[in-house]
Structure 1
Amino acid sequence: MDISQLESLIENDQLDQVIALLSQKPELAKQITSHQISPILLACYYKKPEIAQAIAEFVPELNLFDACAVGKFDDVTLLIFKNPASVNQFSIDGFTPLGLACYFGHEDIARFLVLKGAEVNVASKNGYNVFPIHSAVAANNYNITKMLLDAGAYPNVCQKSGVAPLHSAAQLGNIELIILLLEHGAEVTLRMEGGKLPADLAAEKGFTEIAEILMPDD
């Protein structure tokens, strides 16, 4: 009952109540949720960064994945120093530390992880086939995407359903991100399952000028 109560408070963005509950039962901060992830990761996925930070205060020692997701740079550096091989391990939900740092927009952590040997071309192990570059583009983060590409990330890898980074950037309408990907070899002719091009996704979102730019020459 207690963990479901915490989950409900996280989902409904009730920061004060989360703190009050964890003040009474701090052990809940480390308990696995019904989603089979930690409360910190759950708060991050729900886009509740303040709650994620608050929960982290009740965890004496963060694990590497939670630290990457919540943006605790000092914890990440210490954990990698203690166990360098952990830089390419997978979280309980199938993501690498780099994948989590990219998705949640923590540029300093992402750069550090790459510096310490994080593989930029490794997909998630959860059936979704998400690469760090997918996570960076999904987060609409130009700087992290550029860093990954400069580190050798492949621009045309596809996650589940055939979604390439350029599809996501087109759907977001981020012209800077689109240009960056094109400059690094992203292909406008890649089709998702169902046949949609990046140009089609841009058009559906009303980004007509971007759609025209992305239309294949043929």
Structure 2
Amino acid sequence: MDITQLETLIENNQLEEIVALLSQKPSLATQLTSHQISPMLLACYYKKMDIANAIVEFMPELSIFDACAVGKFDDVTLLVFKNPKIVNEYSVDGFTPLGLACYFGHEEIARFLVLKGAEVNLPSKNGFNVFPIHSAVASNNYNIAKMLLDAGAYPNVCQKSGVAPLHSAAQLGNIEMIILLLEHGAEVTLRMEGGKLPADLAADKGFNEIAEILRDDD
């Protein structure tokens, strides 16, 4: 029941209660949740970074995936130094260290991982087929997206449902990201499952000027 209780507290954003519980039973911080990931990583997925950082204080060590998610650069560098091949391994829920760093917006860690040989075109292995470039664009992180593209990330890869990076950027109305992707060869003619183009998604969100830019005139 204890780990279930901790999960519930994380979901309900009860920071003080979490600290009190872990103070009594610090071993809970290293138990796997029902999602088969650490409580800290679960907090990250819920975008509750204050809780994630609080849980870290009760963890004797972090995995490379935990460290990339919560943004602990020193832990990442030490783990990679000890085992360089770890940069392209997969977490239990199917993500690479680079994928997690990109999703949670940790630019310094993402750059370090690429420098140390992280493959920028390695998708998640969990049925979603999410590439690091998808995560960077979806989180509106221009700097990470540019770094990935400059390092050879493919601009037209599709995740589940046929969503390409340009679809996400169009739906978010991020003109800088759109221009970046187009400069690196993103195709405006890619259709998602169901047939929608990036221009259609922009129009659906009311970004009519962006939709016009993305229309294929040929």
User: Match of 1:71, as an amino acid?
Assistant: G
Once the two structures are superposed, what CA deviation does each residue of 1:161-216 show, in whole Å capped at 9, x if it has no partner?
00000000111111100100000000000000000000111111111111111111
Q: CA deviation at 1:71?
A: 0.2
1:64 aligns with 2:67: no
Alignment partner, residue 125 of structure 1 = 125
Alignment partner, residue 20 of structure 2 = 20
CA distance in 2, matches of 1:11, 1:33: 12
User: Match of 2:2, as an amino acid?
Assistant: D
CA distance in 2, matches of 1:107, 1:51: 21
Map 1:49-198; keep pairs closer than 5 Å: 49-198=49-198
CA distance in 1, matches of 2:27, 2:173: 43
Once the two structures are superposed, what CA deviation does each residue of 1:23-55 show, in whole Å capped at 9, x if it has no partner?
111111111111121111110110001101111
CA distance in 2, matches of 1:197, 1:126: 25
CA distance in 1, matches of 2:215, 2:19: 51
> Following TM superposition, where does structure 1 have runs of at least 4 consecutive aligned residues deviating by more than 6 angstroms?
none
CA distance in 1, matches of 2:32, 2:13: 19
Q: CA deviation at 1:122?
A: 0.6
User: Match of 1:89, as an amino acid?
Assistant: E
User: Match of 1:111, as an amino acid?
Assistant: R
CA distance in 1, matches of 2:104, 2:44: 8
CA distance in 1, matches of 2:56, 2:36: 17
2:120 aligned counterpart, secondary structure: coil
- 5+ residue gaps in structure 1? none
CA distance in 2, matches of 1:80, 1:170: 35
CA distance in 2, matches of 1:172, 1:8: 31
Moved more, 144-153 or 9-18: 9-18
Alignment partner, residue 40 of structure 1 = 40
- 5+ residue gaps in structure 2? none
Matched-pair identity in %: 84
1:212 aligns with 2:212: yes
CA distance in 1, matches of 2:24, 2:150: 47
